[in-house]
Copies of this chain bind each other. A is one copy, B any other.
Amino acid sequence: MGRGKIEIKRIDNATSRQVTFSKRRSGLFKKAKELAILCDAEVGLIVFSSTGRQYDFASTR
């Protein structure tokens, strides 16, 4: 999705990998929150970047 199609494999370029991580991470968290709300589900999500930074979310229901 986007200007071109991409293969699902590790992005070699460190800069693009970081940019993609930032964008896709926010998309993933948004969808996790939406699933919890729309479907009354409990969702827990934890992500560690390759540099070790942690991001998490937990719905409370």
Residues of A with Cβ closer than 8 Å to B?
6, 8-11, 17-18, 20-21, 24-25, 27-28, 31-32, 34-35, 37-50
Contacts and interface: CB of A to CB of B under 8 A. Distances in A.
Given A44-B45, A44-B46, A45-B44, A39 B11 contact: yes
Contact of A43 (B27, B42, B46): B46
B17 A27 contact: no
Query: Oligomeric state, in number of copies?
Result: 2
A59 B50 CA distance: 12
Contacts of A43: 45-48
Contacts of A6: 38
Nearest to A34: B8
